[in-house]
Amino acid sequence: MQKRNLGKSGLEVSAIGFGAMGMSQSYGPPPGTREEMIVVLREAFERGVSFFDTAEIYGAGKNEELVGEALAPFKERVVIATKFGFKDPAAGASAGVDSRPERIKQVAEASLKRLRVDAIDLFYQHRVDPAVPIEDVAGAVKDLIEEGKVKHFGLSEASAKTIRRANAVQPLTAVQSEYSLWWREPEKEILPTCEELGIGFVPFSPLGKGFLTGKIDETTTFDSTDFRNTIPRFTPENRKANQTVVDILKKIAERKKATSAQIALAWLLAQEPWIVPIPGTRKIERLEENIGAASIELTPSDLREIEDAASTITVQGARYPEAVQRMIDR
């Protein structure tokens, strides 16, 4: 697996990371046991993945425990990112945000125990808290860095203005936001800001919550606990309308003898050398597919073809329900 640096921080990670959230929530019951999920995480490491993403709120702390147990044998050789910023992990995001400095430090102590590490490699603010100045948030993480409990600071789904203000207090290593061929909003302000300030960018949902794999269409049904049932972009009519995005990927994939998912990830990798996507999976075969994307080279001609086709498409449907959307880009 190729390596990449997240901005100018010196933090080196695998070109493709691993988003662990789906092992504990959001996409319906895992297809296997906890032990089988540990096997997938360890297999990811064995195949060259060194960057793993979790959060306090995923599965009310259970996801951190899972990642901590799975990666304990390799903890000196991996980078584990986790997140703070919500009031109560047991209550989920609906309980609201809380980034008071005392809460940040409380979350850090709990995450250290669950992850079985002496220091958190990358500590993101999960969502911006409008009640707490970002300077106070950055200051609290700076204190944790000085205490040796955190190594790097990041923000998730923050605005360019907030990124600048936070970075002035404690330099940011990474910004994490959704980014893919069907959500390109970060190209307007976030990516230019990251480039200017030397901050790495970590796209989550790089496969459009599964849609860009080409395995979902308007007839697909999701488990009752799958959060895609609540997302406007995933209504049957919008899935049908958005199929043209997948058609672009399929066309390139056939030519490259690859899959649609691999082309979607390769497209992200081709955008900037400091972009590191974190696709998630719960299956070994999907893990192999995702990792394979790192070896696919899209030529300038390929990229132009994708760009020309994508420019004619308007993706239908909001990416989140309204209540969740209000927590973004603050």
* Stretch (H or E) spanning 13: strand 12-14
**Of 192, 130, 197, 191, nearest in space to 170 by CA:** 197
Look up residue 84 and give its two tokens.
């703070």
Q: At residue 259, what is the residue type? A: T
Q: At residue 233, what is the residue type? A: R
Burial zone of 60 (CB within 10 Å; 0-12 exposed, 13-18 middle, 19+ buried): middle
Q: Are strands 12-14 and 3-5 parallel, antiparallel or unpaired?
A: antiparallel
**Of 97, 164, 81, nearest in space to 327 by CA:** 97
Q: Are strands 51-53 and 200-204 parallel, antiparallel or unpaired?
A: unpaired
Give the CA count within 13 Å in the CB-facing half-sphere of 47: 21
Cβ-proximal residues to 76 (8 Å cutoff; 6+ apart), any chain: none
Pick the catalytic residue from 58, 124, 179, 320.
Answer: 58
179 among known catalytic residues = no
Q: How far apart are CA 270 and CA 206, in angstroms?
A: 13
Could you give the residue numbers annotated as active site?
58
